[in-house]
Structure 1
Amino acid sequence: MRMSVIGCGYLGAVHAAAMASIGHEVVGVDVDARKIEALAAGRAPFFEPGLAEILTEGIASGRLSFTTDMSAVKGAKVHFVGVGTPQVKDGYAADLTYVNAAVDGLLPYLAPGDIVAGKSTVPVGTAATLAERVIPTGATLVWNPEFLREGFAVEDTVDPDRLVAGVPAGDEGEQAAAVLREVYHPSVAKGTPFIVTDYATAELVKVSANAFLATKISFINAMAEIAEVTGANVTTLADAIGHDARIGRRFLGAGIGFGGGCLPKDIRAFSARAEELGRGESVAFLREVDEINMRRRERAVQLVIEGLGGSVYEKKVTVLGAAFKPHSDDIRDSPGLDVAVRLHGLGAHVTVTDPEAIENARRVHPQLTYVADRDEALTGADAVIMVTEWDEYRRQLDPEHASTLATGRVVVDGRNGLDPEAWRAAGWTYLGMGRP
């Protein structure tokens, strides 16, 4: 099938390349000429495992192309809209400027029978409004939310755990759903759940999933706060309650909290939209979820201060990690980078290392020192804090080896991913998040 993808950022670039990898003919469109130039040359503008390979393959096959010219979408059967919905500068709501511009830009090139498939995360009610602009062209709007995990985005696109299609009522909706089943034929054929629903439900599926995950993370971090004043061990607590099938162990890892380009902005936008709908009290708990999340960053800073005897001034602190999660170079709302900036503000000499995110971090926070090599970053450190659980920090860093590099012996485990006994046996003062 011939299709277009409007917006070639993280979501759009992955979606375009993944659709080409399963046999579709895809053109990606974006206003950023430098991004398009890189993609057209087969260079991924960000780090995502597996993307470079399917990008190169798609371009070589002729099934995948990129352009800044919107007219290139003409003749495509399905048009995916995957532009960003950032938080507005003066509030919590989602900024729909890019979504509106993408749909308006598409309108002159739509033909009767075309499908416009929204993938961006939007406030509930957005699709119904956009549909009114699409209807006069004879095309049909559907809402097809994405559920990508950074670091696994290619896998999640090619082999998703579920597919959701929000469609209009009647024959038009049934026909649009049938087209989307063709688009995702390999997944549908293997039995992946394909849920057909209305616009509002499809929009809510994405934001409610993110709100639930954020709540689960903040719940265990709230328990970590209690554990810290009672001497309990939040990791053992999470293991114990995680055996309950109704709860599960995933997303019960206490630490410095969540970040990235989705969870923080999405729960804030959800709260803002609920207020607009007169139901702010229904999701009022999300404000506390957000506050708990932010408190954990400050707690990590406090642990470094405590470990260094009450002050970080003129102390060398090595921060292991800059990306908000491993297997990514995304630093958007990175808790670890926020911790690094706070320590710098208190007078510490902060050195940050990360396998993939250094250049992105340097552009945003040039005041910090960046070192690509882990061991070089550890050399001479008075304290070390692990904030992103890359394997080379969590599993591959031997505490005995670290002792030969660092000057001090203080390690703060911002992700509760290190072995406390091993670090203490090597002579380190180990400080975890909610661990005694």
Structure 2
Amino acid sequence: MKMTVIGTGYLGAVHAACMAEIGHEVLGVDNDEAKTAALASGRTPFFEPGLQELITRGIDSGRLRFTTSLEQAARFAGLHFLCVGTPQCPDGPGADLRQVDAVVDGLAPHLLPGALIVGKSTVPVGTAERLTARLRAAGAPTAHLAWNPEFLREGHAVADTLQPDRLVFGTASADAEKVLSEVYAPLIRSGIPCVATDTATAELVKMAANSFLATKISFINAMAEVCDAAGADVTVLAHAIGYDNRIGRPFLNAGLGFGGGCLPKDIRAFRARATELEVGSAVAFLSEIDEINLRQRRRTVDLTSRLAGGSVTGRRIAVLGAAFKPDSDDIRDSPALAVAAQLHREGALVRVHDPQALENARAAWPQLDYASRVDKACEGADVVLHLTDWAEYRALDPDALTPLVCRPRLLDARNSLNPDVWTRAGWQYAALGRLGALSHPSSDAPVSASG
């Protein structure tokens, strides 16, 4: 089947490559000429495990091409996947839909009769209905809108596209549902569950899923605060309650909290849209979820100060991690960089390492110091912070780092290193939710990564 994928960022590039991988003829579209040229030459402009190989295979097979022309895209096929960004509005918590609107406006005059536009971007409920009216007003009376939300985890996006937990088709007609069933036929035949519904429910499914995940993460981080006050161990608490199949163990990992381009802005946009629908009180709890998440950053800064002897001014701090999560080079709303930047503001000498995100971090925060190797980042450090849970960091040998640091002090803000290994090597080990004597916060003010 011929199709276009409009927007070739973390979502669109993966979707385009995976659709070509399962046999479709795909034209990727983006208004960023440098990104389009890179993809057309077989180079991925960001890090995502497995994507480079898929892009190469798609181009070599002739099933995957790229362009900057929306007009060419509209005439290439009657099926268009919309994968552009929906960031937070610059002046409020709602979703900024200008890119979505611009694509629909650009396509409308050139669409083939009966064209189907399928949204994958995360949007407020009611967007498909609004865009349908926009298409009609722009002179595309036979075009249709559907919504097929994505549920990708950066670092696992290829597998999450080719072997998803479920497919959701939000459509307004049996014909649109049939088209989507044909697109995903190989996945459906393999037994992937498929939920067919209306567009409004499909839009809400993604917002609800992200809100639930954010709630679960912030819940265990709230429990970490209580554990610190009570002298309890949040990792054991999470393990114990996780045996209950009504609760489950995944996403009960206390630590620095969530970031990235999805969860933070999505829960804020959901809250804003619910307020517009006059049901804001139904999701008012999301404000506290957001606040708990941001508070973990402040608590990490405060615990670093305690480990450094009461102040970070003039102290050298090694920061292990810049990406918002492992297996990605994405630094959008990165908790690790938010902490690094705040420590810098408070007078610390911060040196950052990350296996993939150094270039992006350096561009966003040139004030910080960077090291291409972990040992260089740790040289002379008064405190070492583990802020992004890369496998490389979990495999570190503390005995090898001890001669390099000024003082062997570790803050494991992801609660994923083995404290026994580090303490046996002579390190002072601290982690949120596990050492109450060290982790009482001195301030509840959130820390932002913007700068």
Query: Deviation of residue 115 (structure 1)?
Result: 1.4
Query: Is 1:324–1:388's contact at 8 Å kept on the other side of the alignment?
Result: yes
Query: Is 2:4–2:76's contact at 8 Å kept on the other side of the alignment?
Result: no
Name the CA distance, whole Å, in 1 between partners of 2:423 and 2:303: 16
Kindly indicate whether residue 432 of structure 2 is the aligned counterpart of residue 433 of structure 1.
yes
Query: Is 1:92–1:268's contact at 8 Å kept on the other side of the alignment?
Result: yes
Residues 48-87 of structure 1 show CA distances to partners (whole Å, capped at 9, x for unaligned) of 0001000011111111111111122214131000000010
Query: Is 2:71–2:106's contact at 8 Å kept on the other side of the alignment?
Result: no
2:108 paired residue number: 107
Deviates more, 1:20-29 or 1:110-119: 110-119
1:89 paired residue number: 90
2:407 paired residue number: 408
Query: Deviation of residue 114 (structure 1)?
Result: 2.1
User: How has the CA–CA distance of structure 1 residues 387 and 44 changed in structure 2, closer, same or farther, with 3 Å as cutoff?
Assistant: same
Matched residue type, 1:294 = L
Query: Deviation of residue 139 (structure 1)?
Result: 2.2
TM-score by length of 1: 0.98
1:256 paired residue number: 256
1:304 paired residue number: 304
Matches within 5 A, 1:72-87: 72-73=72-73, 74-87=75-88
Matched residue type, 2:106 = G
Name the CA distance, whole Å, in 2 between partners of 1:276 and 1:137: 28
Query: Is 2:77–2:112's contact at 8 Å kept on the other side of the alignment?
Result: no
**1:26 match: secondary structure:** strand
Query: Deviation of residue 133 (structure 1)?
Result: 3.0
**2:212 match: secondary structure:** helix
Residues 180-203 of structure 1 show CA distances to partners (whole Å, capped at 9, x for unaligned) of 011011111112111110111000
Name the CA distance, whole Å, in 2 between partners of 1:391 and 1:86: 29
Kindly indicate whether residue 220 of structure 2 is the aligned counterpart of residue 220 of structure 1.
yes
| Sequence identity percentage | 60
Q: Which runs of 5+ in 1 are unaligned?
A: none
Q: Which runs of 5+ in 2 are unaligned?
A: 436-451
Name the CA distance, whole Å, in 2 between partners of 1:157 and 1:422: 37
Deviation above 6 Å: which 4+ runs of structure 1? none
2:370 paired residue number: 370
Name the CA distance, whole Å, in 2 between partners of 1:199 and 1:428: 54
Query: Is 1:125–1:200's contact at 8 Å kept on the other side of the alignment?
Result: yes
1:71 paired residue number: 71
Query: Is 2:40–2:66's contact at 8 Å kept on the other side of the alignment?
Result: yes
Deviates more, 1:84-93 or 1:418-427: 418-427
**2:210 match: secondary structure:** helix
The alignment yields a C-alpha RMSD, in angstroms, of 0.9
Name the CA distance, whole Å, in 1 between partners of 2:340 and 2:82: 35
**1:137 match: secondary structure:** coil
Deviates more, 1:335-344 or 1:417-426: 417-426
Matches within 5 A, 1:1-80: 1-73=1-73, 74-80=75-81
Name the CA distance, whole Å, in 2 between partners of 1:245 and 1:69: 50
**2:49 match: secondary structure:** coil
**1:85 match: secondary structure:** coil
Query: Deviation of residue 137 (structure 1)?
Result: 3.5
Name the CA distance, whole Å, in 2 between partners of 1:353 and 1:10: 22
Name the CA distance, whole Å, in 2 between partners of 1:189 and 1:409: 54
Query: Is 1:164–1:195's contact at 8 Å kept on the other side of the alignment?
Result: yes
Matched residue type, 1:96 = L
Residues 296-323 of structure 1 show CA distances to partners (whole Å, capped at 9, x for unaligned) of 0011111111011101111110000000
1:183 paired residue number: 183
Name the CA distance, whole Å, in 2 between partners of 1:412 and 1:95: 37
1:98 paired residue number: 99
Name the CA distance, whole Å, in 1 between partners of 2:95 and 2:312: 37
2:349 paired residue number: 349
2:397 paired residue number: 398
2:192 paired residue number: 192
Matched residue type, 1:302 = D
Matches within 5 A, 1:270-309: 270-309=270-309
Name the CA distance, whole Å, in 1 between partners of 2:58 and 2:128: 31
Query: Deviation of residue 109 (structure 1)?
Result: 2.3
1:154 paired residue number: 158
Query: Is 1:134–1:141's contact at 8 Å kept on the other side of the alignment?
Result: no
Name the CA distance, whole Å, in 1 between partners of 2:366 and 2:151: 32
Query: Is 1:33–1:68's contact at 8 Å kept on the other side of the alignment?
Result: yes
Aligned length: 431
**2:11 match: secondary structure:** helix
2:444 paired residue number: none
2:142 paired residue number: 138
Residues 81-103 of structure 1 show CA distances to partners (whole Å, capped at 9, x for unaligned) of 00000101111000010000011
Deviates more, 1:344-353 or 1:398-407: 398-407
Query: Deviation of residue 161 (structure 1)?
Result: 1.1
Matched residue type, 1:350 = V
**1:241 match: secondary structure:** helix
Name the CA distance, whole Å, in 1 between partners of 2:191 and 2:78: 24
Name the CA distance, whole Å, in 2 between partners of 1:221 and 1:160: 28
Name the CA distance, whole Å, in 2 between partners of 1:339 and 1:200: 38
